[in-house]
C-alpha cells in the first residue's frame, strides 16, 4: 500500500469510531469562519449536556463527587460536544468510547458502593495530545509510518490520571514531527481555529486548543518544547500552562527528537479556567510521580510556595514587569492592547507594574534553535521514511512540500557531538546570565525582591492565517531558560479598537514583514492572550500569581460592562 492509502485507511477507521447519532447534521458551511458558539445550537446537545460542558472543572469535580452527575453522564456529554468540535475544526485523532465509558461506569459503581471518590479528579473526562500513550491505542503523531503501532502500556501520566479518577476519552491532533506551531499532518489533516477558521489553531498541541475552546473537553494535556502548549492556548483563547522540565511525568509517551537531553519537552494542562490547571497540577504531584518516572524531580506540591512564601506571603503588593516587545519583532496592536489592559488591571488591584528589559533575546532564540537543529532533520527523516511519506516542509495550504524558510525548521545537515556541546555550553551561560539579569531587578522594584512575574506576548500576533505562524521567539526563549509560563486569555481582536498604526522604523526585515501582515479584518475575532513567566521550578507561585492576574482582569472587565 502507498502511504496515502495507509493514511486514508486510518482516517476511515477514525470516522467509524464515531456514533452516527452524535454527528450534527446542521453544520455551518465552511465559509462560516467563527463557529465558537455553534455547539449551543447544534441540536445534538441536550440542555443537560450544555450545563455540564459549560461548567468549570471545579464545579464538575464537586458535582461528580456529590453524585449530582454520574461519570457516565459527564463523559457522554463531553464526547458529544467533542465530536461536534471535531466536525467543526478537525481536532481529534483517537476516539475510544467503549474504553472511556467502561472506565466511567467503574467510577460510578465505586462511588456508589464505597461512598468515596477514587481520587481528586474523579469522573473528569480528560483529552490527551496524540503522543500520550494509552494501552491498545495508536499514537502516530502524524507519521504514516507509525500507523498500526498500538501502545503496549499506558504512559505514566495516564496511569496517574486514572488513579486520580480521571477518564481519558479522546486524543487530539498534532503536526507531523510535533515540531511546528500549527497543526497539520498527512493522516488527519488540519485543525482550524474555532474563533476564525481561516486562522491556525496553533501547534503543536493544536487539537487540544481547538477542542477546549469549544468546550469539547474540560481539561486537556499538551506538551511544550518551544511553545506547543502556549501557542494553541493563546490562539484559541484558553488557559494553558508550561511547567518547568521534569515535574510532570513524560515517561511512556512517544516523541520527536528523543535523546535530545538539553532542552526537554514538558507536559502540561490546558483548560477553560485556572482551577482546571491547578487541579491537574496538584493532583498529579500528589501521586509522587518520581516513583514511576526516573526524571521527575522529587518535589512535593508546596502549599508554602503557593502561598507566595518567596513573594511577600500574599501580604504585600507584587511587582510585575511587562515585556512589551522583545526588540526583534514588535507585536501587533491587539497584543499591545492585551498587555495594556493587564497593566491597568494590576495597577487597579494595587500592584506595581514596571517595564521588563529584554535580555539577549536573539542569542537565546538562536541557541535553542541550534540545539534542535543539531540532528532534527535526521530524526524526522528516520521517523517518516519507512512509509515513503515525505517530511512536511511548510504548513501553508498551498505549499506543503516547499520550504517556506521558516526560522524554526532545522537546517538540513546535522553537526558533531562536540559542536553540540559548545552550543549547550552557551545555553548554560545564557541561563546563568539571564538569572543574574532577573535578580538584579531587585534594585528597581521597590519591593526588596526581584520582579515577581514577567508578563509578555506569546507571539507577535494573535492567531495568523494558516501557514503564516513563522515566529516562535516569544515562547522559545522561556524553554531555553526553563521558566514555567502560564497563558491567560484577555480579549479578542476588534476591528474598531485594534486599528493599524503607522510605523516607519523597524527592528529588522522580519519586523517589517510582521508589521505588513497586520490587518484587523484578517485577524477578526482572534483571541488575545498574555503569558505569565515565573522562575524555574516555581510552578506553585506561578499558579497563585496567575490567579491574582486573572482576578484583576476579570474585575476591570466587569467594571467596563
Q: Which residue among 25, 114, 401, 416 contacts a copy of itself (CB under 8 A)? A: 416
- DSSP class of residue 269? E
Question: Which among 95-103, 289-297, 456-464, 502-510 is the span making contact with a copy of itself, rule CB under 8 A?
Answer: 289-297
Q: Residue 297 Cβ, how far from a copy of itself at the closest point, in Å?
A: 6
129 is catalytic: yes
- DSSP class of residue 417? H
For residues 351 and 444, give the distance between their C-alpha atoms in angstroms, rounded to a whole number: 15
Residue 424 interacting with a copy of itself (CB under 8 A) = yes
Residue 11's CB is within 10 A of a number of other CB atoms, namely 16
Which H/E stretch holds residue 548?
A: helix 539-560
Residue 34 interacting with a copy of itself (CB under 8 A) = no
Query: What are the cell numbers at 271?
Result: 483548560
Q: Residue 414 Cβ, how far from a copy of itself at the closest point, in Å?
A: 5
- Nearer to a copy of itself by Cβ, of 37 and 439: the residue is 439
Return the closest-CA partner of residue 285 out of 543, 26, 4. 543
Question: Which among 374-382, 392-400, 456-464, 523-531 is the span making contact with a copy of itself, rule CB under 8 A?
Answer: 374-382
Q: Which residue among 538, 548, 549, 550 contacts a copy of itself (CB under 8 A)? A: 538
Which residues carry a binding-site annotation? 178, 204, 225-228
Ranges of beta strands (E only) in 177-329 are 184-185, 189-190, 219-224, 239-242, 266-271, 319-322
- DSSP class of residue 39? G
b/e 103-121 (16+ beta carbons within 10 angstroms → b): bbebbbebbeeeeebbbbb
Residue 153 interacting with a copy of itself (CB under 8 A) = no
Question: Which among 288-296, 456-464, 498-506, 522-530 is the span making contact with a copy of itself, rule CB under 8 A?
Answer: 288-296
For residues 206 and 226, give the distance between their C-alpha atoms in angstroms, rounded to a whole number: 14
Whether the ω angle into residue 498 lies within 30 degrees of 0, i.e. cis, is no
For residues 163 and 118, give the distance between their C-alpha atoms in angstroms, rounded to a whole number: 7
Q: Which residue among 56, 286, 292, 352 contacts a copy of itself (CB under 8 A)? A: 292
- Catalytic: which of 80, 129, 171, 343? 129
Binding mask 234-273 for a copy of itself (x = CB under 8 A): -----------------x-----xxxxxx-----------
Q: Which residue among 426, 445, 522, 547 contacts a copy of itself (CB under 8 A)? A: 426
Q: Which residue among 1, 48, 357, 419 contacts a copy of itself (CB under 8 A)? A: 419
Q: Residue 13 Cβ, how far from a copy of itself at the closest point, in Å?
A: 30
b/e 422-455 (16+ beta carbons within 10 angstroms → b): ebbebbeebbeebeeebeebeeebebebbbbbbb
- Nearer to a copy of itself by Cβ, of 62 and 422: the residue is 422
- Catalytic: which of 24, 55, 223, 228? 228
Q: How many residues bind a copy of itself (CB under 8 A)?
A: 46
Which of the residues 481 through 500 are near a copy of itself (CB under 8 A)?
481-482
CB within 8 A of 535, min separation 6: which ones? Answer: 438, 483, 484, 541
CB within 8 A of 440, min separation 6: which ones? Answer: 450
Residue 418 interacting with a copy of itself (CB under 8 A) = yes
Which of the residues 94 through 113 are near a copy of itself (CB under 8 A)?
none
Give the C-alpha distances (Å, rounded to integers) separating 318 from 351, 370, 535, 541. Answer: 5, 36, 15, 12
Q: Which residue among 84, 231, 285, 423 contacts a copy of itself (CB under 8 A)? A: 423
Residue 130 interacting with a copy of itself (CB under 8 A) = no
Query: What are the cell numbers at 388?
Result: 515513503
Residue 431 interacting with a copy of itself (CB under 8 A) = yes
Phi, psi of 410 (to 5 degrees): -70, 155
Which residues carry a binding-site annotation for substrate? 178, 204, 225-228
228 is catalytic: yes
Q: Which residue among 17, 23, 135, 290 contacts a copy of itself (CB under 8 A)? A: 290
CB within 8 A of 255, min separation 6: which ones? Answer: 131, 141, 178, 223, 265
Return the closest-CA partner of residue 517 out of 329, 351, 386, 269. 329
Q: Which residue among 291, 314, 500, 557 contacts a copy of itself (CB under 8 A)? A: 291
- Catalytic: which of 55, 77, 127, 204? 204
Q: Which residue among 412, 422, 497, 508 contacts a copy of itself (CB under 8 A)? A: 422
Q: Which residues are catalytic?
A: 129, 204, 228
Footprint of a copy of itself on this chain (CB under 8 A)?
Answer: 251, 257-262, 290-295, 297-299, 374-375, 378-379, 414-428, 431-432, 434-435, 439, 481-482, 535-538
Amino acid at each position: 500500500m502507498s502511504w496515502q492509502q495507509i493514511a486514508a485507511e486510518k482516517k476511515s477507521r477514525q470516522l467509524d469510531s464515531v456514533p452516527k447519532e452524535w454527528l450534527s447534521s446542521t453544520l455551518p458551511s465552511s465559509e462560516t469562519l467563527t463557529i465558537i458558539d455553534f455547539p449551543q445550537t447544534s441540536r445534538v446537545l441536550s440542555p443537560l449536556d450544555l450545563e455540564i460542558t459549560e461548567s468549570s472543572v471545579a464545579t464538575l469535580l464537586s458535582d461528580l463527587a456529590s453524585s449530582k452527575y454520574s461519570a457516565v453522564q459527564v463523559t457522554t456529554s463531553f464526547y458529544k460536544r467533542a465530536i461536534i468540535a471535531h466536525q467543526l475544526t478537525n481536532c481529534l485523532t483517537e476516539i475510544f468510547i467503549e474504553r472511556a465509558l467502561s472506565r466511567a461506569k467503574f467510577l460510578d459503581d465505586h462511588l456508589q458502593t464505597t461512598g468515596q471518590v477514587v481520587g481528586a479528579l474523579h469522573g473528569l473526562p480528560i483529552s490527551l495530545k496524540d503522543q500520550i500513550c494509552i494501552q491498545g491505542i495508536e499514537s502516530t503523531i502524524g507519521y504514516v509510518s507509525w500507523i498500526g503501532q498500538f501502545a503496549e502500556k499506558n504512559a505514566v501520566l495516564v496511569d496517574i490520571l486514572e488513579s486520580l479518577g480521571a477518564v481519558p476519552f479522546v486524543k487530539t491532533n498534532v503536526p507531523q514531527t510535533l515540531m511546528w506551531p500549527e497543526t497539520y499532518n498527512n493522516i488527519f489533516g488540519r485543525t482550524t481555529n474555532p474563533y476564525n477558521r481561516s486562522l491556525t489553531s496553533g501547534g503543536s498541541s493544536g487539537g487540544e486548543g481547538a477542542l477546549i475552546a469549544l468546550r469539547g473537553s474540560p481539561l486537556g494535556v499538551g506538551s511544550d518544547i518551544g511553545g506547543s502548549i502556549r501557542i494553541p492556548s493563546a490562539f484559541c483563547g484558553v488557559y494553558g500552562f508550561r511547567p518547568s522540565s521534569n515535574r510532570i511525568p513524560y515517561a511512556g509517551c512517544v516523541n520527536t527528537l528523543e535523546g535530545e537531553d538539553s532542552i526537554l519537552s514538558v507536559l502540561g494542562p490546558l483548560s477553560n479556567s485556572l482551577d482546571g490547571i491547578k487541579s491537574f497540577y496538584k493532583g498529579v504531584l500528589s501521586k509522587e510521580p518520581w516513583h514511576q518516572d526516573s526524571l521527575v524531580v522529587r518535589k512535593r506540591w508546596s502549599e508554602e510556595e503557593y502561598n507566595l512564601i518567596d513573594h511577600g506571603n500574599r501580604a504585600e503588593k507584587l511587582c510585575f514587569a511587562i515585556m512589551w516587545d522583545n526588540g526583534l519583532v514588535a507585536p501587533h496592536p491587539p497584543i499591545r492592547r492585551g498587555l495594556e489592559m493587564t497593566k491597568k488591571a494590576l495597577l487597579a488591584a494595587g500592584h506595581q507594574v514596571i517595564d521588563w528589559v529584554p535580555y539577549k533575546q536573539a542569542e537565546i532564540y538562536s541557541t535553542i534553535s541550534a540545539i534542535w537543529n543539531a540532528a532534527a532533520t535526521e530524526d524526522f527523516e528516520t521517523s517518516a521514511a519507512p512509509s515513503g511519506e515525505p517530511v512536511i516542509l511548510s504548513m501553508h495550504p498551498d505549499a506543503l512540500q516547499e520550504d517556506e524558510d521558516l526560522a524554526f525548521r532545522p537546517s538540513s545537515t546535522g553537526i558533531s557531538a562536540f559542536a553540540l556541546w559548545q552550543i549547550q555550553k552557551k545555553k548554560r551561560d545564557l541561563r546563568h546570565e539571564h538569572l543574574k539579569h532577573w535578580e538584579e531587578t531587585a534594585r528597581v522594584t521597590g519591593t526588596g525582591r526581584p520582579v515577581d512575574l514577567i508578563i509578555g506576548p506569546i507571539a507577535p500576533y494573535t492567531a495568523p492565517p494558516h501557514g503564516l505562524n513563522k515566529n516562535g521567539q516569544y515562547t522559545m526563549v522561556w524553554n531555553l531558560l526553563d521558566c514555567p509560563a502560564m497563558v491567560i486569555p484577555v480579549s479578542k481582536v476588534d476591528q474598531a479598537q485594534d486599528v493599524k498604526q503607522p510605523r516607519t522604523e523597524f527592528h529588522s526585515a522580519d519586523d517589517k514583514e510582521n508589521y505588513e501582515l497586520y490587518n484587523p479584518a484578517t485577524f477578526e475575532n482572534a483571541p488575545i492572550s498574555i503569558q505569565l513567566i515565573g522562575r524555574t521550578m516555581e510552578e506553585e507561585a506561578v499558579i497563585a500569581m496567575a490567579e491574582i492576574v486573572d482576578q484583576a482582569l476579570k474585575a476591570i472587565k466587569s467594571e467596563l460592562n
